[in-house]
Amino acid sequence: MAQTLLCHPGIGPDVEGIALVASDDFSARYDLDRIKGVFSRPAHKLFGEDYRERVLVLNNVKGGVASAWMLNEMASRDVKPAAFVFNRVNPILAQGAALAGLPLVDRFADGDVTTLICNGERIRVRPSEGQVILLDRP
């Protein structure tokens, strides 16, 4: 049976994918190897994980304009996540996700999204509806 989490309406198209979850914050500039498609900062909990076409579920964003530009560069080379799900996001990264055509949502009614979604869980992100649907819940 599916479970639906409600959040602030986001941006981008609906997407379905496998969640890659950590309670860490996120910087596209400092946490990712944008050529290989893996988390590259050794101190990050997702170090070494392949992020391509996964739904990244993380705490908050770090960084500014450079991180936003990098999302567009990643999308242009098709080395990108399927979507972003955050507890909180800043306007700069939201603009970068919009420019790159990447779905993004944040601010969940039920609390910390990094504890509500399990790593490896199949989820559907519906930004315009402000929903994340957990598809494999018993």
Mean pLDDT of each 10-residue bin along the chain, 138 residues long: 95 97 94 95 97 97 86 94 97 94 97 97 98 89
Strands (E) across 1-138 are located at 3-11, 15-21, 32-33, 38-39, 55-58, 83-86, 104-108, 122-126, 131-134
Q: Confirm whether pTM is higher than 0.85.
A: yes
If one counts every other C-beta atom within 10 angstroms of the C-beta of residue 137, the result is 12
Q: Going from the N-terminus, what domains does the chain have, and what CATH number goes with each?
A: 3-134 (3.50.30.10)
Give the β-pairing of 3-11 and 104-108: antiparallel
Q: Which two tokens stand for residue 114?
A: 């990094």
CA nearest 20: which of 70, 67, 86, 78?
A: 86
